[in-house]
């Protein structure tokens, strides 16, 4: 793997290639994308101190885009994209259920066995989707976004990814997380395991998160992402603006709020989500 890393980094730094060098680079990229496909390689990895960005992996993805040319890749519908990124090939043995209706998974995305994908959904290259996760209709999993096992990404939710700069973190959703409908998570937001994010919550790296049970405001720091704590239940909220004009007109700003941490009532709701997921898998 270290040799592949060194090769990818060197090729990424090279601005011009001869025809023979380009052919060799494509061979390395094919191996690289296959490792992403298999989940053997990830743009971010979890270490004892937290998540670490594998910047060379992002360099490899960007290099694949650079090497690709637009060609006719139509199957059952018009499809013109970079030659290095055809649709991911999924077979029955992979145990991934994809319902017909416009879902696309790009090559270089890992989708674990037991994942259920409702149409239409889109999973971009470099993304990682863990075992047993449900990706619902109109959901987007962006480039390099990391989704844990047994999560539910509800209809219309957008999980942001990032390729550039190569050292920037994508959105990370850890295991057993419920993301409600029409949510938007962007700019490297990290969701701790077992958290519940209610429908309509929008969060970026610069969004303050008000934690009512603990009486604190959670913000991203220079070297770390905005972190939704483990087991937190987050809902959309608002806070009054302090300027004279704002007070005169009763203006408020949107803000997400942690109203509680998971309890028996929340567990019952999540159990219902799990039953629905099982139903999706059977029907």
Domains in the chain with CATH codes: 2-71 (1.10.166.10), 80-282 (2.160.10.10)
Residue 283 has pLDDT above 50, yes or no: no
Mean pLDDT of 52-65: 96
CA 21 to each of CA 11, 15, 28, 89, 252: distance values in angstroms, whole numbers, following the listed order: 9, 12, 11, 27, 57
Cα radius of gyration rounded to whole Å, the chain: 20
Least confident of 31-40, 95-104, 112-121: 95-104
- Residue 256 in contact with residue 203, Cβ under 8 Å? yes
Which pLDDT band, with edges at 50, 70 and 90, does 266 fall under?
A: low
Where b means 16+ CB within 10 Å and e means fewer, 227-256 reads bbbbbbbbbbbeeeeeeeeeeeeeeeeebb
Nearest to 173 by CA among 270, 36, 44: 44
Which pLDDT band, with edges at 50, 70 and 90, does 102 fall under?
A: confident
Which pLDDT band, with edges at 50, 70 and 90, does 276 fall under?
A: low
More confidently predicted of 229 and 275 = 229
Res 73: pLDDT: 78
Q: What percentage of the chain exceeds 70 in pLDDT?
A: 92
Where b means 16+ CB within 10 Å and e means fewer, 29-46 reads beebbebbbeeebbbbee
Residue 100 has pLDDT above 50, yes or no: yes
Res 99: pLDDT: 84
pTM listed for this prediction: 0.89
Residue 277 has pLDDT above 60, yes or no: no
Angle subtended at Cα 73 by Cα 69 and Cα 77, rounded to the nearest 5 degrees: 140
Mean pLDDT of 90-114: 92
More confidently predicted of 270 and 139 = 139
């Amino acid at each position: 793997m270290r040799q592949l890393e060194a090769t990818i980094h060197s090729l990424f730094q090279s601005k011009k290639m001869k025809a023979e060098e380009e052919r060799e680079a494509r061979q390395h990229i094919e191996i690289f994308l296959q490792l992403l496909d298999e989940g053997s390689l990830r743009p971010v990895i979890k270490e004892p101190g937290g998540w670490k960005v594998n910047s060379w992996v992002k360099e490899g993805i960007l290099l694949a885009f650079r090497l690709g040319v637009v060609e006719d890749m139509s199957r059952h519908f018009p499809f013109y994209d970079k030659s290095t990124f055809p649709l991911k090939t999924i077979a029955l043995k992979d145990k991934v259920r994809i319902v017909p209706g416009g879902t696309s998974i790009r090559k270089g995305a890992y989708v674990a066995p037991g994942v259920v994908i409702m149409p239409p959904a889109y999973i971009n290259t470099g993304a990682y989707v863990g075992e047993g996760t449900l990706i619902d209709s109109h959901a987007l999993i962006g480039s390099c976004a990391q989704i844990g096992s047994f999560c539910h990404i509800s209809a219309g939710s957008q999980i942001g990814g990032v390729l550039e700069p190569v050292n920037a973190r994508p959105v990370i959703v850890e295991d057993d997380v419920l993301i409600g409908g029409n949510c938007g998570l962007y700019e490297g937001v990290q969701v701790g395991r077992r958290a519940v994010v209610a429908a309509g919550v929008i969060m970026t790296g610069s969004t303050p998160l008000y934690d009512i049970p603990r009486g604190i405001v959670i913000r991203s720091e220079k070297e770390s992402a905005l972190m939704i704590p483990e087991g937190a239940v987050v809902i959309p909220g608002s806070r009054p603006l302090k300027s004279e004009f704002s007070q005169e007109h009763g203006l408020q700003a949107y803000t997400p709020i942690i109203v509680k941490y998971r309890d028996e009532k929340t567990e019952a709701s999540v159990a219902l989500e799990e039953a629905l997921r099982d139903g999706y898998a059977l029907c």
